[in-house]
Structure 1
Amino acid sequence: MPPSPPLPSAGLGRRLASLLYEGLVLFAVLLIGFWLPQALLLGNGIQFSARQLWLHVFLLLMLYCVWFWINGGQTLPMKTWRLRIVNANGGAIRPTQALLRYLASWPCLLLGGIGILWALIDKDRQFLHDRVAGTRIVQEPANT
């Protein structure tokens, strides 16, 4: 059987739509994984500093993103939009790439969305954090 051709890079519109959907899913993740435990702990008199709360958010989102990226290359919104994160050769990304992508996405998103705007000038229309991590987002065919 001949090797399958590489999957095409996903279009910017599709990736942005998936990112919007991802925001809704992340809200639910934070509601369950952050707010609920914090409410229960505060109800029992356990209070955390602002730094500890931000660390909790950072680690919770890291666990969510990195887990899904290294276990199938997709989060739920990415599955819905038939997107997958792959390495430069089209294979599964390594855990270090997933972690680097996550860490790079924070400044890319928080600094005025510079990492998203980067796709407008990038020759392959990739986000800046994908460039940094050596990953790319591809579109899967409709029949998978």
Structure 2
Amino acid sequence: MSSLANAPRASLGRRLAAWVYDFMVALAVYMLAGAVLFALFTVLVSVGVVDKGGMTHTVDVLQSSPVWLTLNEVGKLLAVTWLFVWSWKKKGQTLGMRAWRLRVQRTDGSELDARQAWLRAVVSFGGLAMFTLLWDDEGAAMNDRISGSEVVMLTVEQNRSLMERD
């Protein structure tokens, strides 16, 4: 594979297209995490760790408790964030990025470390940070600059090589 350090930065259009794909995957992970967390909460209610407070349905118990409701939402958001961090750390690509031949990397072409991946995920605000590309002459979004990373466009060969790599 040729050097990724000199790969061209990805356009807003390609990033948006990849975001649409990734949104669908993230939504599925969010729903799956919600089901797992609700099952766990149901067990906690069943064994008496969480008091039902006279309510009949477990979902009512969850929705009436700001603490448990917040923990539930935070857990789902962490699951989605972890999906992106894991994908970026593994090969620098999410499913949507693979489809659109994009890769997130350090500016020297190497892979992100865990700190950079988490920082990038947190400051991207669900993808909204990509719109800061509109004000950047160098093609770097706010989350690129803050995390010391860039999103580049790959050739077909580079993308294939990344997908075949262990």
Q: Which moved more, 1:4-13 or 1:39-48?
A: 39-48
Match runs of 1:1-144 below 5 Å: 4=3, 6-32=6-32, 34-44=33-43, 45=45, 47=62, 49-106=68-125, 109=127, 113=128, 115-143=129-157, 144=160
Pick the structure with more helix per residue. 2
Report if the CA contact (8 A) 2:102-2:153 is conserved: yes
- SS of 1:126 mapped into structure 2: coil
- SS of 2:26 mapped into structure 1: helix
- SS of 2:105 mapped into structure 1: strand
- SS of 1:91 mapped into structure 2: coil
Report if the CA contact (8 A) 2:34-2:72 is conserved: no
Structure 1 segments unaligned to the other structure (5+ residues): none
* TM-score (norm: length of structure 1): 0.83
In structure 2, C-alpha distance between the alignment counterparts of 1:19 and 1:58, rounded to whole Å: 16
For residue 126 of structure 1, report the CA deviation from its aligned partner.
Answer: 2.2
User: In structure 1, what residue type is equivalent to 2:131?
Assistant: L
* TM-score (norm: length of structure 2): 0.73
In structure 1, C-alpha distance between the alignment counterparts of 2:118 and 2:92, rounded to whole Å: 13
In structure 1, C-alpha distance between the alignment counterparts of 2:113 and 2:16, rounded to whole Å: 24
In structure 1, C-alpha distance between the alignment counterparts of 2:37 and 2:114, rounded to whole Å: 29
In structure 1, C-alpha distance between the alignment counterparts of 2:41 and 2:120, rounded to whole Å: 33
1:21-72 CA-partner distances (Å, limit 9, x unpaired) = 111010111122x222133234433646122112202321222111111111
Structure 2 segments unaligned to the other structure (5+ residues): 51-61, 161-166
- Alignment length (residue pairs): 136
Tell me which structure has the larger Cα radius of gyration: 2
In structure 1, C-alpha distance between the alignment counterparts of 2:27 and 2:89, rounded to whole Å: 21
User: In structure 1, what residue type is equivalent to 2:23?
Assistant: G
